[in-house]
Amino acid sequence: MKTQVLIIGAGPSGLLLGQLLAQAGIDALIIERQTPDYVLGRIRAGILEQVTVDLLHEAGVGHRLAVEGTVHRGIELVFSGQRHMIDVAGLTGGKTVTAYGQTEVTRDLMQARSAAGLPSVYGVSELTLQDLDSNKPWVRFKADGQTQEVQADFVAGCDGFHGASRASIPRHVLREYERTYPFGWLGMLSDTPPVSPHAIIYANSPRGFALCSMRSLTRSRYYVQCPLDDRIEDWNDDRFWEELRCRLDVDTASRLITGKSIEKSIAPLRSFVAEPMRWGSLFLAGDAAHIVPPTGAKGLNLAAADVKLLASALSDWYRLGQSRAMDTYSERSLRRIWKAERFAWWLTSLMHRFPDTDDFGQRMQEAELAYLTSSAAAATTLAENYVGLPLEL
Ligand code: RFL
Ligand code: PHB
Confidence class for position 323, pLDDT limits 50, 70, 90: very high
Nearest-CA neighbor of 386 among 347, 349, 336, 351?
Answer: 347
Ligand 2 atom closest to 296 (CA) = 10
Q: Is 137 a catalytic residue?
A: no
Residue type, 256: L
Residue 132 Cβ inside 6 Å of ligand 1? The answer reads: no
Q: Which pLDDT score is estimated for 392?
A: 79
Q: For CA atoms 22, 24, 27, 32, give the dihedral sign.
A: negative
pLDDT digits (tens, 9 = 90+) for 243-293: 999 999 999 999 999 999 999 999 999 999 999 999 999 999 999 999 999
Same topology between domain 2-49+101-179+270-351 and domain 183-268+355-368: no
Predicted confidence band of residue 70 (pLDDT cuts 50, 70, 90): very high
In DSSP terms, which residues pair with 77 in a beta bridge?
A: 84, 202
- Asked whether residue 393 carries a pLDDT value surpassing 80, the answer given is no
Catalytic residue among 95, 290, 298, 352: 298
What are the tens digits of pLDDT across the range 75-97? Answer: 999 999 999 999 999 999 999 99
Give which of 284, 285, 287 is closest to 270, Cα–Cα.
287
Helix (H, G, I), strand (E, B) or coil at 236: coil
31 CB near ligand 1 (under 6 Å) = yes
| Cα-Cα-Cα-Cα dihedral sign, residues 261, 267, 271, 275 | negative
For the chain, helix (H) and strand (E) counts, in that order, are 13, 19
Average pLDDT, rounded, for the chain = 97
Output the pLDDT for position 97: 97
Helices (H), 63-127: 63-68, 88-91, 102-115
Separation between Cα atoms, residue 379 and residue 296, nearest integer Å: 14
Does residue 184 have its Cβ closer than 6 Å to ligand 1? Answer: no
Q: Is 3.50.50.60 the CATH classification of the domain at 2-49+101-179+270-351?
A: yes
Active site residue 386: yes
Q: Looking at residues 29-45, what average pLDDT do you find?
A: 94
- Say how many CA atoms lie within 13 Å of 113 toward its Cβ: 27
pLDDT mean over 15-30: 98
Distance CA(282)–CA(276), nearest Å, equals 11
Task: Quickly state the pLDDT bin for 196 (edges 50, 70, 90).
Answer: very high
40-64: average pLDDT? 94
Kindly tell me if the per-residue pLDDT of 131 is higher than 80.
yes
- For residue 334, the tally of other CB atoms under 10 A from its CB is 19
Distance CA 294, CA 150 (A): 35
Q: What pLDDT score does 385 carry? A: 97
CATH fold group of domain 183-268+355-368: D-Amino Acid Oxidase; Chain A, domain 2 (3.30.9)
Mean pLDDT for the stretch of residues 169-198: 97
pLDDT in tens, 133-169: 999 999 999 999 999 999 999 999 999 999 999 999 9
Give the pLDDT confidence score for residue 43 in this predicted structure: 84
Mutational pocket test of ligand 2: of 185, 211, 350, the residue with most ligand atoms within 8 Å of the beta carbon: 211
What pTM, to 2 d.p., does this model score?
A: 0.96
CB 47 less than 6 A from any atom of ligand 1: yes
- d(CA 298, CA 47) in angstroms, rounded, equals 8
pLDDT confidence of residue 391: 87
So where are the chain's domains? 2-49+101-179+270-351, 183-268+355-368
What SS3 class is residue 42? coil
For residue 267, list its beta bridge partners.
Answer: 185
Known active-site residue 371: no
